[in-house]
Amino acid sequence: MNEPKSIRVAYGESLAEIGSKNSKVVVLDADLAHATMTNIFSEKFPERFFNFGIAEANMICAAAGFAHSGLIPFVSTFALFGAGRGYEQIRNSIAYVNANVKFGLSHSGLTVGEDGGSHQSIEDIALMRVIPNMTIFVPCDPIETKKAVYAATEINGPVYIRTARPICKNITDEMTPYIPGKANILKEGSDIALLTTGIMVSKALEAAKELENQHISTAVVNFHTIKPIDEECILEMANKCKALVSVEEHSIIGGLGSAIAEVIAGKSSIKFARIGINDKFGKSGKPEQLLKQYGLSVNNIINTCKTILL
Amino acid sequence: MNIGEQYEKATQLREDILHMVYKSQSGHIGGSFSCLEILMALYYNVINVDSKNPHWEDRDRVILSKGHACPALYAILADLGFFSREDLWNLRQIDSHLQGHPDMNKTLGVDVNTGSLGQGVSVAGGMAMAAKYKKKNYQVFAIIGDGEVQEGLVWEAAMSAAHFHLDNLTVILDYNGLQLDGFNAEIMDISNIMEKYRAFGFECYEADGHNIEEIVKKVKKPHNGKPKFICCHTHKGYGVSFMEDNVDWHGKAPNKSQYVQAMKELGVDIHE
Residue B30 lies in a domain: yes
Q: Torsions phi, psi of A152, nearest 5?
A: -60, -40
How far, in Å, CA of A261 to CA of A265, rounded? Answer: 6
Q: Which regions in chain B score pLDDT beneath 70? A: 272
Cβ of B127 within 8 Å of Cβ of A68? The answer is yes
Q: What ipTM was assigned to the predicted interfaces of this complex? A: 0.94
Between A254 and A4, the more confident residue is A254
Query: For residue A165, what pLDDT is reported?
Result: 87
Strand order across the beta sheet in which A184-187 lies: A184-187, A218-222, A192-196, A243-251, A271-277
Q: Please list every residue in chain A whose beta carbon sits closer than 8 Å to the beta carbon of residue B130.
A: 26, 65-66, 68-71
Cβ of A71 within 8 Å of Cβ of B125? The answer is no
H-state helical runs in A50-162: 56-68, 79, 87-89, 124-129, 142-154
| Residue from the list A65, A96, A97 with its beta carbon closest to the beta carbon of B125 | A65
Where are the domain boundaries for CATH 3.40.50.970 in chain A? 5-168
* Nearest of A58, A14, A198, A184 to residue A122 by alpha carbon: A198
How far, in Å, CA of B100 to CA of B96, rounded? Answer: 10
Residue A228: asked if its preceding bond is cis (omega within 30°), the reply is: yes
The single-letter code of the amino acid at A205 is L
List the single residue in A with minimal CA-CA distance to B158. Answer: A58
How far, in Å, CA of A139 to CA of A82, rounded? Answer: 18
- Kindly report the CA angle at B115 between B113 and B119, in degrees rounded to 5? 75
Minimal CA separation from B260 to chain A, in Å = 37
Q: Which residues contact B130 (CB under 8 A, 6 or more apart)?
A: A26, A65, A66, A68, A69, A70, A71, B136
Total tally of structural domains belonging to chain B? 1
Distances (CA, A) of B257 to B243, B250, B262: 14, 18, 8
pTM over the 0.90 mark: yes
Determine what percent of chain A is predicted with pLDDT higher than 70.
99
Q: What is the SS3 assignment for B115? A: coil
With beta carbons less than 8 A apart as the criterion, state whether A238 and A270 touch.
Answer: yes
Residue B128 lies in a domain: yes
Q: Confirm whether A56 is a catalytic residue.
A: yes
Where are the domain boundaries for CATH 3.40.50.920 in chain A? 184-309
| Residue from the list A47, A64, A88 with its beta carbon closest to the beta carbon of B126 | A64
Residue B35 lies in a domain: yes
* Nearest of A276, A280, A283 to residue A304 by alpha carbon: A276
Q: What is the SS3 assignment for A221? A: strand
pLDDT per residue as tens digits for the range A257-273: 999 999 999 999 999 99
With beta carbons less than 8 A apart as the criterion, state whether A21 and A92 touch.
Answer: no
Does the domain at residues A5-168 carry the CATH identifier 3.40.50.970? yes
Over the range B14-46, which residues count as b (16 or more CB within 10 Å of their CB) and which as e? bbbbbbbbbbbeebbbbbbbbbbbbbbbbbbbb
pLDDT level of residue A191 (50, 70, 90 thresholds): very high
Q: Please list every residue in chain A whose beta carbon sits closer than 8 Å to the beta carbon of residue B117.
A: none
Cβ of A47 within 8 Å of Cβ of B123? The answer is no
Q: Please list every residue in chain A whose beta carbon sits closer than 8 Å to the beta carbon of residue B153.
A: 57-58, 61, 89
Residue B219 lies in a domain: yes
Q: Which residues contact A163 (CB under 8 A, 6 or more apart)?
A: A7, A8, A10, A11, A104, A105, A106, A107, A108, A139, A145
How far, in Å, CA of B151 to CA of B146, rounded? Answer: 10
Residue B150 lies in a domain: yes
With beta carbons less than 8 A apart as the criterion, state whether A141 and A109 touch.
Answer: no
Q: Please list every residue in chain B whose beta carbon sits closer than 8 Å to the beta carbon of residue A89.
A: 119, 122, 153
Q: Give the number of other Cβ atoms within 10 Å of residue A193's Cβ.
A: 32
Residue B272 lies in a domain: no
Domain of B243, CATH number, reads: 3.40.50.970
Minimal CA separation from B159 to chain A, in Å = 9
Of A56, A144, A248, A249, catalytic: A56
pLDDT level of residue A5 (50, 70, 90 thresholds): confident
With beta carbons less than 8 A apart as the criterion, state whether A222 and A188 touch.
Answer: no
**DSSP state string for A111-125:** GGGGG-TTT-BSSHH
List the single residue in A with minimal CA-CA distance to B56. Answer: A69
Domain that holds residue B104: 3-266
Q: Give the number of other Cβ atoms within 10 Å of residue A117's Cβ.
A: 14
pLDDT per residue as tens digits for the range A21-30: 999 999 999 9
State the greatest distance between any 2 C-alpha atoms of chain B, in Å, as a whole number. 57
pLDDT level of residue A1 (50, 70, 90 thresholds): very low
Query: For residue B271, what pLDDT is reported?
Result: 78
Beta strand segments in B33-133, E: 61-64
Confirm or reject contact between B144 and chain A (CB < 8 A). Answer: no
Q: What is the mean pLDDT of residues A187-192?
A: 98
pLDDT level of residue A88 (50, 70, 90 thresholds): very high
| Residue from the list A53, A58, A97 with its beta carbon closest to the beta carbon of B122 | A58
Q: Which residues contact A291 (CB under 8 A, 6 or more apart)?
A: A110, A111, A203, A249, A297
List the single residue in B with minimal CA-CA distance to A89. Answer: B119
CATH of domain A184-309: 3.40.50.920
Best of B129, B139, B200 to mutate (most A CBs within 10 Å, chain A): B129
Query: For residue A4, what pLDDT is reported?
Result: 81
Distances (CA, A) of B180 to A203, B188, B215, B246: 54, 12, 26, 10
Cβ of A97 within 8 Å of Cβ of B157? The answer is no
Q: Please list every residue in chain A whose beta carbon sits closer than 8 Å to the beta carbon of residue B156.
A: 52, 55, 57-58
Quote the mean pLDDT of chain A.
96
Q: Please report, to the nearest 10 degrees, the dihedral formed by the alpha carbons of residues B231, B233, B236, B241 taken in order.
A: -160
Measured in Å, how far apart are chain A's first and last C-alpha atoms? Answer: 42
Determine what percent of chain A is predicted with pLDDT higher than 90.
95
Cβ of A47 within 8 Å of Cβ of B134? The answer is no
Query: For residue A2, what pLDDT is reported?
Result: 59
What are A72's strand-pairing partners? A25
How far, in Å, CA of A219 to CA of A154, rounded? Answer: 31
Cβ of A55 within 8 Å of Cβ of B159? The answer is yes
